[in-house]
Amino acid sequence: MCVTCGCSDPKLNHDGEPHTRARPTRALKRSITRGARSTLQIERSLLDKNQRLAEQNRAWLAARSSVAFNLMGSPGAGKTALLEAVVRFASDLSIVVVEGDQATERDAERIRQAGCRAIQINTGTGCHLDAHAVLHGLEALAPEPGSRVILENVGNLVCPALFDLGETARIVVLSVAEGDDKPLKYPHMFRACDALVLNKIDLLPYLPFDMAAALGHARALNPKLVTFELSAMRGDGLASFCNWLRSFTASSAPLVASPSPEAPNGATP
């Protein structure tokens, strides 16, 4: 789906190895090595271009006294439900939303019904939003000065963390239904984010989710991580999260480090 994770390469199977059962010959090994170098070069070029466009997005937003938040998480974590709750709870925030999904306008329609302007970006087979797509979304939305633009990324705990979109802060949503070991399994996402929203806490009585373990794993990866425990459905903890969103202004220094194309598991937030 993208060159960064390699899943678009028809020469590779799901384990990332060439499709062959025979023992690799020297020529094949050389070919594989050249292919790996070529992939790395393409990846570097892709991320470099994206970074330049992200900086343009950041300047575009700053010129309009607006800030953006990159909202990430697995499918079903409750990202859209969280946005619906925030829009209804904090109308003073002047929120506009860029929705990223592979297909349909369902999430953008939900956000509009909640009372907020939204535009849908469909990525097709793409597994994340990129800065170029977001620029078109921003131009179409034309947020009012002082807006908070929330970029709901495609549901995925891997590739979205690698791509700066021009945001001031990054948020990862983890639902208690997903398990408390997700920070261990997807470390780069939790290293790359500024805030962690533990969602669906209303389900805690019914699930074997260890809150202390989940928070401990996440903070071990990223000691600066701001955490919120909330239920988008019931509204528990929502006020604290909205106050955090309010704390950002157009003069806020960008919190997001440039992602590393070489070793995502070792990147810093």
Specify the pLDDT at position 27. Answer: 56
Backbone phi, psi, residue 9, to 5°: -85, 110
How does residue 34 score in pLDDT terms, banded at 50, 70 and 90?
Answer: low
Closest CA to 74 of 171, 162, 141, 172: 172
The answer, yes or no, to whether residue 19 has pLDDT greater than 70, is no
Q: Does the predicted model carry a pTM greater than 0.95?
A: no
pLDDT, one tens digit per residue, over 216-247 is 999 999 999 999 999 999 999 999 999 999 99
Q: Residue 255 to residues 113, 115, 251: CA-CA distances in angstroms?
A: 31, 29, 12
pLDDT, one tens digit per residue, over 73-130 is 999 999 999 999 999 999 999 999 999 999 999 999 999 999 999 999 999 999 999 9
The answer, yes or no, to whether residue 29 has pLDDT greater than 70, is no
Domain ranges of the chain: 45-266
* Domain boundaries 45-266, CATH class: alpha beta
168 neighbors 243 (Cβ within 8 angstroms)? no
pLDDT, one tens digit per residue, over 133-169 is 999 999 999 999 999 999 999 999 999 999 999 999 9
